Amino acid sequence: MMLMLRMSRLALFWPLFLVPSSANAVAGAVAEVVHTVYRADQPFQQFLPLWHEGFEETGPDGKKVVRAKRQVPLGGYIHVYVKNTGGQPLVVKDVQLEGISLAEAVRLSEDLKAGVHPASVRIAKIPKPKIERLLQLGEPVWWKVDPDEVAAGGFAAVTIRLRRDPLVDSVSVAVVCGEATLPTRVEVGKPQPYLAGVSFAMDFSDVITYVRAPGGRGLAPSRLLLDGQDVTGQSSILSDPSLDTTVISTKLTEPVDRGSYHYFQADFADGSRAAAGLRATADEFRYGMWGYINKGDTPRERADYFLKDMESHNINLLMQSISKDVVEFMLSEEGRAYSQRTGIRMMANWPGNAPKPVYYFLLDEPDAHDHAVSFLEANVRLGSLGQALVERAREIRAKDPIPPMLLNIDNTYKPENYYMYAQLPDVMCADPYYSAALESALRKRPDEVKYFEKPTYVYGVASICRWACAPRPLHIILNCVRDDNKEHPFRFSTPVEKRIEVFYALAAGATSLSYWWYTPYDDCYGVGGDDPRGKALWREMGVLGAEVRTAGPVITRSCPAELPVEASPDLWVRTLLAGPDSLVVLVVNDTSRGSKEGTLIRNVSPANVTVRVPVWLNNVQAVEVDSGGVKLPLCKQSGSEVTLTLGTVKVTRLVILTQDPGLRATLTKHRFSWRKGSRGGGR
């Protein structure tokens, strides 16, 4: 459900922020609140026509309920950052809203959905007036503390998800840790800056922080604190009068540990502040596949066939639904050596299920399972699995604290579902299957097909997810199956569609991708089968893998930013800031049109793009990446404007503007290629 007009009172048009009061400090306390903020969900009105549900609900008037309408409100997150000022480890035991314990109020039920117990304050065993009060305060859906145990001198974040904006002007919050209770108060205030992205180097020796001040172009923080230490002197703070995003590059005194928790705080001269806590992660661009195939007479033959096909198509991450033969091989000593040699790794759903997993998979599609929680009214079911997933993440982290947690959000209760779960995992994941959305529009809503002729659905979902999960990373799953449903079968995506989907996902801020799925069985027939269209799609996925993995060292450290751009007609252009010395220009041919039969597209020529680069980028070089290699396109800089002469754009172009004179050589050395056919792919 998307909020297009917030509640009528003017105060609720603005985010709330929590202001700690020294008058409320606890004498002799072993902890203190260092910063708190309420971050209201930001509506993306431009994507409103994309949201339709696969299920139907009937309202009191007997008509079908349309969820994504302008008057439906969204909610937000309360973030409370706590420092352990004592000499011993500290555990946050509870959080109170106006004296009401969330440990008691967000109660797990006896019901069981997807292996976990749904929770809701609406079934809490507390007095009814307290339940009513919590509903007025926005209805807490789930809450968490990270890390569970706060080391002496360390920091932790308390996160509370509210279904709706509070119906009051202020609310008290208290963090209960040990014998101390730390009070503060939520008050209505001005919009606050936030951390739009945080990216560690692969060796964790430096970190890039992207700070965004909505509506405040040219505003930059005056200092940066990391874990309470002022690191401004170790940082380059780069801002531009025309941008609302600041890039901060910080050289760390000592590398941090992978998986360690850190608190970032960027202070502005006017007293405003952007803050976030998250775990240190860094990885190459992960390009994954779901599913399996059984080709071969022995377990080893079946594993070999599958893995060789993955490797040749530039897949370096095996998600879920992998065959037992492959899993057992990867867990073997020989499989571990193979993983180290090829870089192919796995996702796991529990410690011990994969060697050095890239992610732990918390759950698939909790929003879809929410809809089956029948003891709640349909309009308040979303998020009911959240508290149980917080507990599952805690159990996994107690056994293996290093790999990040990934949670995949489906397409139920759109787009409120994306906000609801965005801040729960370390890595948010969503599966906007464009071909399914196009098929549904063609069959059910022919008057709305115009909104689905291009894969805008992917860009819309990914854009909301990236905003909602910031500064954490985003993983997007794309569809690669033929739907053999007897009532409404639908074709494979075309190579052109998939190429555009990938570029849309990157433009929205995804820093890793995967596909569902490879399995050529049942109604969802994957690209591992013998269908010629599926083979053509699988080939293009391999070509795309070569491109995105070659550009990966730049993409994984990037953050979406709206730079002034002028382009030839019929070109769609978006930009990503990529550290202190580079930016990515993503160019898409905007003439594509999808139909039941396939995709129509015509070349755009001549194709020129002019980007006004940030003031800190001078004398840039253009480096273009495609599956044929790393090259230097025609580029001219005049002052702050850089013009790219691209000739003809068939489908997409990926160009990096950089001050790093060694970037081309680095990417060439790092380059991936397409190994099963001619190079160049869908350019």
| 71 plus 184 within the same structural domain | yes
| 243 plus 119 within the same structural domain | no
Q: Is 367 helix (H, G, I), strand (E, B) or coil?
A: helix
What per-residue confidence (pLDDT) applies to 372?
A: 92
| Preceding peptide of 606 cis, ω within 30° | yes
Tokens of 96: 């109170």
Contacts of 571 (CB under 8 A, 6+ apart): 587, 588, 589, 590, 604, 607, 609, 649
Furthest C-alpha separation in the chain: 74
Tokens of 195: 């951390």
Burial tier of 4 (Cβ tally within 10 Å: 0-12, 13-18, 19+):
middle
Q: Find where tokens 């050095």 sit.
A: 356
H-helix or E-strand containing 362? strand 360-364
- Asked whether residue 439 is assigned to any structural domain, the reply reads no
- Asked whether residue 411 is assigned to any structural domain, the reply reads no
| 179 plus 67 within the same structural domain | yes
| 72 plus 217 within the same structural domain | no
- The verdict on pTM exceeding 0.85 is yes
| 106 plus 251 within the same structural domain | no
| 15 plus 60 within the same structural domain | yes
| 132 plus 227 within the same structural domain | no
Report CA 96 to chain centroid distance, whole Å.
Answer: 29
- Asked whether residue 231 is assigned to any structural domain, the reply reads yes
Burial tier of 136 (Cβ tally within 10 Å: 0-12, 13-18, 19+):
middle
For residue 249, the enclosing domain spans 194-265
- Asked whether residue 401 is assigned to any structural domain, the reply reads no
| 17 plus 166 within the same structural domain | yes
What per-residue confidence (pLDDT) applies to 394?
A: 96
| 200 plus 244 within the same structural domain | yes
Tell me the CATH number at 649. Answer: 2.60.40.1180
Q: Which of 153, 168, 188 is the last residue of a domain?
A: 188
Task: Please count the structural domains in the chain.
Answer: 3
Residue positions counted in the chain: 683
- Asked whether residue 280 is assigned to any structural domain, the reply reads no
- Asked whether residue 352 is assigned to any structural domain, the reply reads no
| 113 plus 223 within the same structural domain | no
Contact 582, 554 (CB under 8 A): yes
Q: Find where tokens 């993440």 sit.
A: 393
Q: Which of 133, 156, 188 is the last residue of a domain?
A: 188
- Residue spans of beta strands (DSSP E) within 520-570: 524-526, 559-560, 565-567
| Preceding peptide of 471 cis, ω within 30° | yes
For residues 86 and 91, what is the distance between their CA atoms, to the nearest angstrom?
A: 12
| 93 plus 181 within the same structural domain | yes
Report CA 623 to chain centroid distance, whole Å.
Answer: 26
- Asked whether residue 615 is assigned to any structural domain, the reply reads yes
pLDDT in tens, 392-416: 999 999 999 999 999 999 999 999 9
Nearest-10 Cα torsion for 670, 674, 680, 681: -130
- Asked whether residue 210 is assigned to any structural domain, the reply reads yes
| 206 plus 184 within the same structural domain | no
Q: Which of 173, 188, 203 is the last residue of a domain?
A: 188
Tokens of 265: 């705080």
Residues of the chain with pLDDT under 70: 1-29, 59, 66-72, 187-190, 675-683
DSSP H helical ranges for 316-455: 324-331, 333-342, 366-370, 386-399, 416-421, 434-444
Tokens of 75: 């909610």
End-to-end CA distance of the chain: 37
Quickly count: other Cβ atoms within 10 Å of residue 207's Cβ: 24
